Amino acid sequence: MRDIILASSSPRRIEMMKSRGFNPIVKPADVDETLPKGMSMKDAVMFLALKKALAVETSYLKENGTPEADDAPLIIAADTVVYKEGFGIMGKPTGRDDARRMIRALSGTSHQVATGTALLVAGQPLRRVLFDVTEVFVRAMTDMEIEEYLDTDEPYDKAGAYAIQGIFGKYIEKYEGDFNTVVGFPIDHILKEIKEL
Protein backbone atom coordinates (compact mmCIF):
# COMPACT_ATOMS: atom_id res chain seq x y z
CA MET A 1 0.00 0.00 0.00
CA ARG A 2 1.39 3.38 -0.99
CA ASP A 3 1.81 6.11 1.65
CA ILE A 4 -1.17 8.38 2.21
CA ILE A 5 -0.70 12.08 2.82
CA LEU A 6 -3.70 13.75 4.45
CA ALA A 7 -3.77 17.44 3.53
CA SER A 8 -5.61 18.34 6.73
CA SER A 9 -4.86 18.70 10.43
CA SER A 10 -8.51 18.00 11.36
CA PRO A 11 -8.44 15.62 14.35
CA ARG A 12 -11.71 14.09 13.15
CA ARG A 13 -10.36 13.33 9.65
CA ILE A 14 -7.16 11.85 11.11
CA GLU A 15 -9.17 9.76 13.58
CA MET A 16 -11.47 8.46 10.81
CA MET A 17 -8.49 7.38 8.68
CA LYS A 18 -6.88 5.62 11.64
CA SER A 19 -10.14 3.88 12.56
CA ARG A 20 -10.08 2.29 9.09
CA GLY A 21 -6.51 1.03 9.51
CA PHE A 22 -4.61 3.85 7.79
CA ASN A 23 -1.79 5.83 9.34
CA PRO A 24 -1.67 8.96 7.19
CA ILE A 25 1.20 11.43 6.99
CA VAL A 26 -0.43 14.72 8.05
CA LYS A 27 0.54 17.76 5.94
CA PRO A 28 -2.07 20.51 6.15
CA ALA A 29 -2.41 22.58 3.00
CA ASP A 30 -1.75 26.30 3.35
CA VAL A 31 -3.93 27.86 0.65
CA ASP A 32 -6.04 30.96 0.18
CA GLU A 33 -9.63 29.73 0.54
CA THR A 34 -11.22 32.78 -1.09
CA LEU A 35 -13.77 31.63 -3.64
CA PRO A 36 -14.46 33.19 -7.03
CA LYS A 37 -17.73 35.16 -6.92
CA GLY A 38 -20.91 33.29 -7.81
CA MET A 39 -19.41 29.83 -7.43
CA SER A 40 -21.93 27.09 -6.60
CA MET A 41 -21.74 25.00 -3.44
CA LYS A 42 -20.67 21.94 -5.44
CA ASP A 43 -17.98 23.76 -7.42
CA ALA A 44 -16.74 25.53 -4.27
CA VAL A 45 -15.94 22.39 -2.25
CA MET A 46 -14.48 20.54 -5.25
CA PHE A 47 -12.38 23.59 -6.20
CA LEU A 48 -10.98 24.04 -2.67
CA ALA A 49 -10.33 20.32 -2.10
CA LEU A 50 -8.38 20.11 -5.37
CA LYS A 51 -6.54 23.35 -4.61
CA LYS A 52 -5.39 21.90 -1.26
CA ALA A 53 -4.34 18.58 -2.80
CA LEU A 54 -2.36 20.32 -5.56
CA ALA A 55 -0.62 22.59 -3.02
CA VAL A 56 0.52 19.56 -1.01
CA GLU A 57 1.56 17.75 -4.19
CA THR A 58 3.68 20.76 -5.29
CA SER A 59 5.36 20.88 -1.89
CA TYR A 60 5.98 17.10 -1.91
CA LEU A 61 7.52 17.11 -5.41
CA LYS A 62 9.71 20.10 -4.54
CA GLU A 63 11.09 18.27 -1.49
CA ASN A 64 11.32 14.75 -2.96
CA GLY A 65 11.40 15.04 -6.74
CA THR A 66 9.06 12.95 -8.89
CA PRO A 67 8.79 9.45 -7.43
CA GLU A 68 8.42 6.18 -9.34
CA ALA A 69 4.74 5.52 -10.06
CA ASP A 70 4.55 2.63 -7.56
CA ASP A 71 6.21 4.67 -4.79
CA ALA A 72 4.20 7.87 -5.24
CA PRO A 73 2.01 8.73 -2.25
CA LEU A 74 -1.73 9.21 -2.46
CA ILE A 75 -2.73 12.72 -1.37
CA ILE A 76 -6.21 13.24 0.11
CA ALA A 77 -7.67 16.70 0.69
CA ALA A 78 -11.18 17.72 1.67
CA ASP A 79 -13.25 20.85 2.06
CA THR A 80 -16.68 21.29 3.60
CA VAL A 81 -19.22 24.10 3.41
CA VAL A 82 -22.68 24.69 4.77
CA TYR A 83 -25.21 26.04 2.27
CA LYS A 84 -28.52 27.67 3.14
CA GLU A 85 -30.98 28.73 0.44
CA GLY A 86 -31.33 32.51 0.53
CA PHE A 87 -28.14 32.85 2.61
CA GLY A 88 -25.58 31.18 0.38
CA ILE A 89 -22.35 29.41 1.32
CA MET A 90 -21.36 29.55 4.98
CA GLY A 91 -17.69 29.12 5.69
CA LYS A 92 -16.06 29.57 9.10
CA PRO A 93 -17.49 32.58 10.98
CA THR A 94 -15.32 35.69 11.33
CA GLY A 95 -16.42 36.22 14.93
CA ARG A 96 -19.34 35.99 17.37
CA ASP A 97 -21.70 38.27 15.39
CA ASP A 98 -21.10 36.29 12.20
CA ALA A 99 -21.59 32.98 14.06
CA ARG A 100 -24.86 34.30 15.56
CA ARG A 101 -26.08 35.32 12.09
CA MET A 102 -25.33 31.82 10.78
CA ILE A 103 -26.95 29.92 13.66
CA ARG A 104 -30.07 32.12 13.47
CA ALA A 105 -30.31 31.34 9.75
CA LEU A 106 -30.06 27.58 10.45
CA SER A 107 -32.45 27.51 13.43
CA GLY A 108 -35.83 25.89 12.75
CA THR A 109 -35.07 24.96 9.16
CA SER A 110 -32.98 22.69 6.94
CA HIS A 111 -29.73 23.31 5.08
CA GLN A 112 -27.19 21.36 3.06
CA VAL A 113 -23.67 20.37 4.01
CA ALA A 114 -21.37 19.61 1.10
CA THR A 115 -17.93 18.01 1.19
CA GLY A 116 -15.54 17.87 -1.73
CA THR A 117 -12.67 15.38 -1.58
CA ALA A 118 -9.67 15.34 -3.91
CA LEU A 119 -7.57 12.20 -4.36
CA LEU A 120 -4.38 12.33 -6.38
CA VAL A 121 -1.20 10.32 -6.73
CA ALA A 122 1.79 12.68 -6.49
CA GLY A 123 3.42 13.34 -9.86
CA GLN A 124 0.99 11.01 -11.66
CA PRO A 125 -2.07 11.67 -13.82
CA LEU A 126 -4.31 9.78 -11.35
CA ARG A 127 -6.74 12.30 -9.86
CA ARG A 128 -10.33 12.24 -8.73
CA VAL A 129 -12.52 14.88 -7.14
CA LEU A 130 -15.61 13.66 -5.27
CA PHE A 131 -18.74 15.47 -4.18
CA ASP A 132 -21.10 14.48 -1.36
CA VAL A 133 -24.05 16.37 0.12
CA THR A 134 -26.32 15.79 3.14
CA GLU A 135 -29.50 17.64 4.15
CA VAL A 136 -29.52 18.62 7.85
CA PHE A 137 -32.58 19.72 9.85
CA VAL A 138 -32.08 21.97 12.90
CA ARG A 139 -34.80 22.45 15.52
CA ALA A 140 -35.90 25.96 16.44
CA MET A 141 -33.49 27.47 19.00
CA THR A 142 -34.25 30.18 21.55
CA ASP A 143 -32.09 33.30 21.76
CA MET A 144 -30.74 32.00 25.08
CA GLU A 145 -29.75 28.66 23.54
CA ILE A 146 -27.99 30.47 20.70
CA GLU A 147 -26.06 32.72 23.11
CA GLU A 148 -25.12 29.77 25.35
CA TYR A 149 -23.84 27.92 22.31
CA LEU A 150 -21.86 30.98 21.17
CA ASP A 151 -20.19 31.04 24.62
CA THR A 152 -18.48 27.73 23.74
CA ASP A 153 -15.39 27.39 21.50
CA GLU A 154 -17.15 25.16 18.98
CA PRO A 155 -18.63 27.63 16.45
CA TYR A 156 -15.53 29.57 15.54
CA ASP A 157 -13.47 27.15 13.46
CA LYS A 158 -16.32 25.26 11.80
CA ALA A 159 -18.12 25.82 8.50
CA GLY A 160 -21.61 27.08 9.30
CA ALA A 161 -20.49 27.67 12.92
CA TYR A 162 -21.24 24.16 14.15
CA ALA A 163 -20.04 20.57 14.42
CA ILE A 164 -22.75 17.90 14.14
CA GLN A 165 -20.66 15.55 16.30
CA GLY A 166 -20.14 18.26 18.95
CA ILE A 167 -22.26 20.32 21.34
CA PHE A 168 -24.54 21.44 18.51
CA GLY A 169 -25.62 17.83 17.90
CA LYS A 170 -28.45 18.23 20.45
CA TYR A 171 -30.10 20.81 18.18
CA ILE A 172 -30.10 18.52 15.13
CA GLU A 173 -33.54 16.98 14.50
CA LYS A 174 -32.43 14.65 11.70
CA TYR A 175 -30.30 14.41 8.60
CA GLU A 176 -30.79 12.84 5.18
CA GLY A 177 -27.58 11.46 3.70
CA ASP A 178 -24.19 10.48 5.11
CA PHE A 179 -23.38 11.71 8.63
CA ASN A 180 -19.66 11.70 7.73
CA THR A 181 -20.25 14.19 4.91
CA VAL A 182 -21.42 16.65 7.59
CA VAL A 183 -18.39 15.83 9.73
CA GLY A 184 -16.31 16.73 6.67
CA PHE A 185 -14.94 13.38 5.52
CA PRO A 186 -17.25 10.89 3.72
CA ILE A 187 -14.91 8.00 4.49
CA ASP A 188 -16.91 5.20 2.83
CA HIS A 189 -17.06 7.03 -0.50
CA ILE A 190 -13.35 7.90 -0.19
CA LEU A 191 -12.33 4.28 0.49
CA LYS A 192 -14.39 3.06 -2.49
CA GLU A 193 -12.57 5.53 -4.76
CA ILE A 194 -9.15 4.59 -3.29
CA LYS A 195 -9.82 0.96 -4.22
CA GLU A 196 -10.74 1.97 -7.77
CA LEU A 197 -7.66 4.18 -8.09
Note if 188 is an active site residue: no
Candidate list 79, 97, 157, 188, residue with the active-site label: 79
Measured in whole angstroms, how far is the alpha carbon of residue 1 from the centre of its chain?
25
Strands 74-84 and 88-90: antiparallel
Residues labelled as active-site residues: 79
